[in-house]
Amino acid sequence: MNKRKNNRPMSVITMGCRVNQFETELLRHGGFERGFVSASKNQQPELIIVNTCSVTAESDRQARQLIRRAARKNPQAHIVVTGCYAQRTPERLAELPQVRLVLGNQEKSELWHHVDRMLLETLSGVAQRDSTICVGNIAELSQVPDRPIVDHFAERARAFVQLQDGCDRSCTYCLIPAVRGPSRSLTPEQILAQARQFIQAGYQELVLTGIDLGSYGSDLTPNLPLADMIEQIASLEGLGRVRLSSIDPADIDDALIQLFEKEKKICPYLHLSIQSGDDMILKRMGRRGTHDQIVAQIGRLKKARPETLLGADFIVGFPTESQPAFLQSLTLVNETRLAFLHTFRYSDRPGTPAAQIPQRFRVADGEAKTRSEILRQAGEKNHLEAMEKELGKSGQVLIESINEEGRGRGKLDSFLSITFDCTAGEKVGEIRKVVVEGLDRVNSELVGILP
């Protein structure tokens, strides 16, 4: 583009999962290559890119609200919308103010080519009044497209590395397979190249992400087990530690548990996609495993690494969820001491089997809200107990931020938050030894000192 200008302010906004967050960095990287810069706080961006999520009805509502707010604040900005919500209902997003482009997940990798064309039209005075929609059939995808290697994660102390995209599961409440496509694994060469670049850039912690992380490698030729890929990443020189993002307990096989036990670079924390503790609800959700199998799997993990803490996703108020069925979820949380809970109230996703369940089998909104709060409180109790067990112990903290007063904040390898005074030139992104000496119950975080 011979009319391209440098230092054009842009804003890139991401919603939802860690895969979206990684892809947002790819989008930001493409903008930098074209002379765009991140808009400062007091600067109006010329271009706004919104990477949406559509996992719940609330996610959709928040995306629309965010786009309208961005348009009001920046009346001259061109808005480009992509991501899962854009894949699902592009026409609705195209109707929002100042939205010039709506691109599906398949087209996300070509976003800057579309933006280049849009900006050329604007410079030529032929900008169209209507939005352009470009959304392909994502079900036809068979591999993750080639993408650039990025070396920076904006405003983050850790970097995310994507291993996989898409999902082949058939959970009855979920539309992610329809908006993300089939499960597709990145090659070991792609993954290791990205991981090495992040390490070279100074990142000490890498978070391994995927839409369905446990399915990694089954579509490669030859197949590559997830444990083998993680082991290759963990062996990279200069890496401090590696963390896994959400995974289905049914995908935690013997090889992964053995690696979890022997490779101490792997953080003793996992976030599990559980969704319910009741066998019948799990079956109606299309989930794999039963209450007892989930409990047994968690027991194996904790036997391999006794210091392990666990988080989990739960959906409350799934159609036909009775009070006894809900109590099975609460029992699972309590008996396994899950310390980090994400609870979601069920909401219909268009086109999913669960959305077709008759209204008479639905859980009232007020009851679902009550159940969500009960689970949240149980998780908070387990979280407090986990923090209390750390008192007097030492650990490794990844420094996430340092305020003007020199007070640092970060995460232990168990994902517990801790604050401490920085006194010797510590920097964000470093991993330092810390001794836990107290507990801030108000802010639900530990208090430590750097020896």
Between strands 417-421 and 340-345, the pairing is unpaired
Between strands 36-38 and 159-165, the pairing is unpaired
Q: Which of 33-37, 212-216, 278-282 has the lowest mean pLDDT?
A: 33-37
> Per-residue pLDDT tens for 287-308?
999 999 999 999 999 999 999 9
pLDDT reported for residue 175: 93
pLDDT reported for residue 290: 97
> Cα–Cα distance between 448 and 436 in angstroms, integer?
4
Neighbours of 139 (CB within 10 A): 12
pLDDT reported for residue 311: 97
Among 129, 151, 12, 152, which residue's Cα sits nearest to residue 82? 12
> Residue 99 in 3-state DSSP?
strand
pLDDT reported for residue 155: 67
> Cα–Cα distance between 295 and 298 in angstroms, integer?
5
Among 183, 188, 148, which residue's Cα sits nearest to residue 166? 183
Cα end-to-end distance, the chain, whole Å: 54
250: phi then psi, degrees, rounded to nearest 5: -65, -15
Give yes or no for residue 142 having a pLDDT over 80: no
**Which of the pair, 5 or 435, is modelled with greater confidence?**
435
Contacts of 13 (CB under 8 A, 6+ apart): 48, 49, 50, 51, 66, 70
Q: What is the pTM of this model?
A: 0.91
> Cα–Cα distance between 29 and 265 in angstroms, integer?
29
pLDDT reported for residue 183: 95
pLDDT reported for residue 120: 77
Q: Starting from the edge strand earliest in sequence, which strands make up the sheet with 340-345, in order?
A: 269-275, 309-316, 340-345
**Which of the pair, 7 or 228, is modelled with greater confidence?**
228
Query: Two tokens at 15?
Result: 């919603």
The band of 124, judged by pLDDT with boundaries at 50, 70 and 90, is low
E-assigned strand segments in 23-84: 36-38, 47-52, 78-83
> Per-residue pLDDT tens for 358-401?
999 999 999 999 999 999 999 999 999 999 999 999 999 999 99
**C-alpha dihedral (242, 246, 252, 257), degrees to nearest 10:** 30
pLDDT reported for residue 305: 96
Q: Which of 7-11, 129-133, 209-213, 309-313 has the lowest mean pLDDT?
A: 129-133
Among 254, 69, 88, 44, which residue's Cα sits nearest to residue 176? 88
> Cα–Cα distance between 191 and 252 in angstroms, integer?
21
Give yes or no for residue 34 having a pLDDT over 60: yes
The band of 1, judged by pLDDT with boundaries at 50, 70 and 90, is very low
**103, 122, 283 from 126: Cα distances, Å:** 20, 6, 55
> Cα–Cα distance between 11 and 38 in angstroms, integer?
6
**57, 112, 389 from 124: Cα distances, Å:** 39, 18, 65
pLDDT reported for residue 384: 97
pLDDT reported for residue 2: 37
> Cα–Cα distance between 101 and 415 in angstroms, integer?
38
**C-alpha dihedral (385, 375, 214, 17), degrees to nearest 10:** -100
Residues found in the chain = 451
Query: Two tokens at 18?
Result: 């860690």
> Cα–Cα distance between 410 and 370 in angstroms, integer?
32
Give me the mean pLDDT over the 167-193 stretch. 95
Q: What percent of the chain has pLDDT over 90?
A: 85
What DSSP character marks residue 364? P
> Cα–Cα distance between 79 and 161 in angstroms, integer?
27
**Which of the pair, 128 or 331, is modelled with greater confidence?**
331
Domains and CATH numbers, the chain: 8-136 (3.40.50.2300), 159-388 (3.80.30.20), 394-449 (2.40.50.140)
> Cα–Cα distance between 215 and 196 in angstroms, integer?
23
Average pLDDT, the chain: 93
> Per-residue pLDDT tens for 266-286?
999 999 999 999 999 999 999
For 224-293, give the DSSP string. Answer: --HHHHHHHHHTSTT--EEEE--B-GGG--HHHHHHHHH-TTB-SEEEEEEE-S-HHHHHHHT-SS-HHH
pLDDT reported for residue 7: 84
Q: What percent of the chain has pLDDT over 70?
A: 97
Give me the mean pLDDT over the 109-137 stretch. 78
Contacts of 248 (CB under 8 A, 6+ apart): 212, 214, 272, 273, 288
Give yes or no for residue 3 having a pLDDT over 50: no
> Cα–Cα distance between 27 and 32 in angstroms, integer?
9
